[in-house]
Amino acid sequence: MTAATRRWVLAVPTLWLILLLVAPLAIVLLIAFATPADRIPPFSLGFTLDNLRLVASDPLYRDALLRSLRVAGISTVICLVMGFPAALAIARAPSRWRNALLLAVMLPFWTGFLMRINAWIGLLADDGLIVRLLGTPHLLYTDTAMYIGMVYTYLPFMVLPLYARLSRLDPTLMQAAADLGAPPWRVFLRVILPLSRPGIAAGAALVFVPAIGEYVIPALLGGPQAQLIGKVLWEEFFSNRDWPTASAVAVWLLVVLIAIPAVVMRAAKVPPKR
């Protein structure tokens, strides 16, 4: 491939990123530094840090962001605890069964997202199947229902990158550890788990990043008390029509979404072999 051909090949994704990532981000930053105005559009261009200071200091936005961090973090941990054994089982399954098992993981994506969440509303209602089986009343519109919906929705995003990593592990490493007398739990902790850190980091990022800004699941399953940052962002944009404050919320959320996955990915790097 010549240098000119490489430039043309790279130009397409570069242009795509500029149009769909850099340009919208620049518009959001521009509005975040503007001042609210009673007009259409509802802001006046300028440069002020008042919106960013307001979001950082107001308990409404700060508590919503912290609550979103907690919900996304707990959902990510639950997905990891449930997804790691599933991914390991698929990776160690006979080759003739792997495609079928992976298809079962991806099967929920074949139906609409809202349809699946509405199905959980029926299952978690007071007269629903799950409540009748468990005998636990009032599951719907609680934090438990919200976590069930989050884990159900994002669990495949944890399983697939974990499977991609675990399926490439060299089985001779586990065999060597077992031959040296390591019990299965030590083989898992000292061999499998360290080598799977990139898959864990990728799965955690794929779950955490969309979960922290999730709006539909908390609104439909969590009820009015689930005041997460996605709901606050929606209300500022569409109900209050305070675009500068909403953009400032989006900027702070973007800072968090860049900082936390960057730290996780850095911590998950496998040290080079000596």
Instruction: Determine, yes or no, domain membership for 33.
Output: no
10 in any annotated domain: no
> Between 78 and 230, whose confidence is greater?
78
The mean per-residue pLDDT over the stretch 17-41 comes to 86
Residue 228 falls inside a structural domain: yes
Cβ 33 vs Cβ 47: under 8 Å: yes
Per-residue pLDDT at 4 exceeds 80: no
Residue 241 lies in a domain: yes
The confidence band for 256, taking pLDDT boundaries of 50, 70 and 90, is confident
Task: Please tell me the pTM assigned to this model.
Answer: 0.84
Separation between Cα atoms, residue 112 and residue 116, nearest integer Å: 6
pLDDT at 201 over 80: yes
Q: How many Å apart are CA 131 and CA 121, to the nearest integer? A: 11
In a domain, 124, yes or no: yes
Phi, psi of 268 (to 5 degrees): -90, 0
Q: Is residue 16 part of a domain?
A: no
pLDDT band of 131, cuts 50, 70, 90: confident
Domain CATH number, residue 60: 1.10.3720.10
- Give ∠ CA 78-82-87 in degrees, rounded to 5: 135
pLDDT for residue 260: 77
Residue 238 lies in a domain: yes
- pLDDT bucket at 141, cuts 50 / 70 / 90: confident
How far is residue 124's CA from residue 179's CA, in Å, rounded to a whole number?
49
What is the domain range of residue 95? 51-267
**Rounded mean pLDDT, 63-88:** 92
pLDDT of residue 124: 87
Domain contains 166: yes
Radius of gyration of the chain (CA): 23
Mean pLDDT of 195-221: 89
SS3 of residue 27 by DSSP: helix
The per-residue pLDDT of the chain, averaged, comes to 85
End-to-end alpha-carbon separation of the chain, Å?
Answer: 34
- CA atoms within 13 A of residue 114's CA, in its CB half-sphere: 3
pLDDT at 264 (0 to 100): 67
Average pLDDT over residues 152-180: 86
Number of domains in the chain: 1
